[in-house]
Amino acid sequence: MFSEMLDESEREALLDLFAYLSSVDGVVSPEEVAFINEAAQRFGLDPPSEEAYRRAAGTDLGSLCARFQRPKGRAIALVELINIGFADGRYDESERKGVRVIGQMMGMGEGSIAELEDWVAAGIRWQEKGKRLMGLSP
């Protein structure tokens, strides 16, 4: 939703950051791949190749983070990265650390990162509750 506010360079960098973050726990889940492929389609970009996921550990995070010059772009990128962390239903410690490293490289403080994590988690809980109330999920 917010990622459409990113410019093309930021969207390209975000896809690479998605590949990086989805691989930090050693397993790229089908849900994470689906999330990334959907984002690539929305962005009008090609999704990362299988090779991109294998190379993700060696990603130059500094150069990718530097492409987010606007505070709004940095916040949007972190929200999207937190969302992919939750894509498989588990925002595990390796993903949390990855988000924090990226956020800090973008110049965001620990408090701002934590606040974004809380906001994303609350939004996910809100959506899940709505689906249950409407009988759309168990």
Give the pLDDT of residue 52. Answer: 82
Fold adopted by 2-133 = TerB-like (1.10.3680)
98, pLDDT greater than 80: yes
Q: Where are the domains of the chain?
A: 2-133
44-69: string of b/e by CB count within 10 Å (b at 16+)? eeebbeeebbeebeebebeebbebbe
51, pLDDT greater than 90: no
Give the pLDDT of residue 1. Answer: 67
Using one digit for the tens of pLDDT, what is the confidence trace for 111-128? 999 999 999 999 999 999
Torsions phi, psi for 26 (to 5 deg): 85, -5
Using one digit for the tens of pLDDT, what is the confidence trace for 10-45? 999 999 999 999 999 888 899 999 999 999 999 999
If you search the block for the tokens 């239903």, which residue do you land on?
89
Using one digit for the tens of pLDDT, what is the confidence trace for 54-74? 888 788 999 999 999 999 999
